[in-house]
Structure 1
Amino acid sequence: MIKVDIPGRGKYEIENAVFDYNGTVAVNGDMSKNTQENLKKLSEFVNIYILTADTYGTVKKKCENLPVSVEVFPTHDAADYKEKIVKSLSGQSICFGNGYNDIKMFDIADLSVCIIEGEGCSGKLLSHSDIVVNSIDDAFGLVFNTDRIKATLRG
């Protein structure tokens, strides 16, 4: 569990980390070794879910040795699938994404982080995000050093 007490917002006890795949943990369908190591480290604290329509068809292979749950769904209605999956999780969730189809899951997440990364991000997603970062490495920095979350979101 990741615990963070944000002045003016309250206490969070995050049990789930939910990631979009392409554009978030992977760029052009490829996940870096550093990202893989960070996912392993994060799995010691929370349940990790990777949600994707798998544009490049690489998610199963890239995640086969990682302690994550992978959910693949059809490309149509991706936003609805993501929202449904996040709603089904017990406990508080932090969601990470970059695309237009992440808006619905961000709206129901306890905390949400938009990642710009190499593929960019949807401008519409920005207004649904609690925090915006430049890279997946920056996103991991938030959860491994929760004072960054506190400093960014305090009231």
Structure 2
Amino acid sequence: MIRIEIPQRETIELKHAVFDINGTLAFDGKPWPEAVSRLKRLASFLSIHLLTAATHGQVAALERSLGLPLHVIDTGEEKTRYVEELGPANVIAFGNGVNDAGMLRRAAIGVAVLGPEGVAREALQAADVLVRNPIDGIDLLFYPKRLIATLRP
């Protein structure tokens, strides 16, 4: 668990990190460099959930590369439901696409990732934070004062 105390807001106790794959943790069907080591480190604090619509196929290859199972999810509604079943108050979600907007909005913290594939306006509007890439997003959890500085009123 990661506990984040943001002044003038409720304390957030994160238990789960939910990631979209294509466009967020991977681009052109391949994982971001350094993503695997960051995810392994993060897994000692949070339960990691990797969701994909399998846009580029290669689900088995991505699972091997990332070292974690992927959940094939077809729609944004399914991603939102997935976050709701985990308990959104304990979730940080990462995504870049239109189909990620609902889960970004429902999660305690929604992180829009602007990578080589871009970020959809809907994802950006639903998120609490925008980062340049997934590595910067994951690092927010290793250095929570960055999140506090961004989210404090």
TM-score, length-scaled by structure 1: 0.92
Where 1:112 maps in the other structure, the secondary structure is strand
Larger % of helix: which? 2
Identity of aligned residues (%): 36
Q: Per-residue deviation at 1:55? A: 0.7
2:146, 2:42 → 1: CA distance?
Answer: 16
Where in structure 2 are there 5+ consecutive unaligned residues?
Answer: none
- The equivalent residue for 2:40 is 40
Which one of the candidate residues 71, 85, 89 is aligned to 2:86? Answer: 89
AA paired with 1:80? E
Coordinate RMSD, CA, aligned: 1.5
Change over 3 Å in CA distance of 1:21–1:65 after alignment to 2: closer
Q: CA deviation at 1:33?
A: 4.1
Displacement of 1:64: 3.1
Residue of structure 2 equivalent to 1:135 = 133
Provide Cα deviations, 1:101-143, integer angstroms capped at 9, x if missing partner.
Answer: 1111112111100000111000122111100011111101101
CA distance 1:68–1:13, shift in 2 (3 Å): farther
**Correspondence for 1:151:** 149
CA deviation profile, 1:29-79 (whole Å, cap 9, x unmatched): 1003410111111000000001111111123322236564421033xxx11
Query: Aligned residues, how many?
Result: 152
SS in 2 for 1:64: helix
Q: Which moved more, 1:13-22 or 1:99-108?
A: 99-108
Specify the alignment match of 1:116 in structure 2: 114
Amino acid at match of 1:13: E
Gap runs ≥5 in structure 1: none
Structure 1 residue ranges (4+ consecutive) displaced by more than 6 angstroms after TM superposition: none
